Amino acid sequence: MSKKLGGPCRAPNPEVGCEPGGVVNIRPCKQLVADLPPLAPGDILLHGHTHVPAWTDFGQGNLYLNPGSVSIPKENTAHSYMTMEGSTACWKTMEGACYHQLQL
């Protein structure tokens, strides 16, 4: 489908989760998933708190999207943002160039 970058659990050990600011959280990823809002199959979770661009499948046909960060990007990613035009999500550099596109 697409290159996967980022995701809800980005800790070095898959049994551990992450807190804001990259602080490792001792809650298992299963608990992080359990803490998500109620999602129906096919729902999209748009979350920008990690400052890491992401487009990742999870759950029951769900999609996790993260626009990245215009001010404080993490994990050596570029300053970026995401736009939605119709059913197309586009991750863009600060110059406006689209570096990843996803048809929803």
pLDDT at residue 57, rounded to an integer: 87
More confident residue, 63 or 98: 98
Tens digit of pLDDT for each residue in 35-80? Answer: 778 889 999 988 887 888 989 888 888 888 989 999 998 888 899 9
With 0-12 / 13-18 / 19 or more C-beta atoms within 10 angstroms meaning exposed / middle / buried, residue 65 is: buried
pLDDT at residue 16, rounded to an integer: 40
Contact 52, 77 (CB under 8 A): yes
Whether pTM > 0.85 for this model: the answer is no
Tens digit of pLDDT for each residue in 18-37? Answer: 444 444 444 445 555 667 78
Q: Provide DSSP, 27-90.
A: S-HHHHHHTSPP--TT-EEE--TT-S-EEEEETTTEEEEE---SS---TTPPSEEEEEETTEEE
Once rounded to an integer, what is the mean pLDDT over residues 81-103?
95
Tokens of 71: 């001010």
pLDDT at residue 64, rounded to an integer: 86
β pairing state of 54-58 and 44-46: unpaired
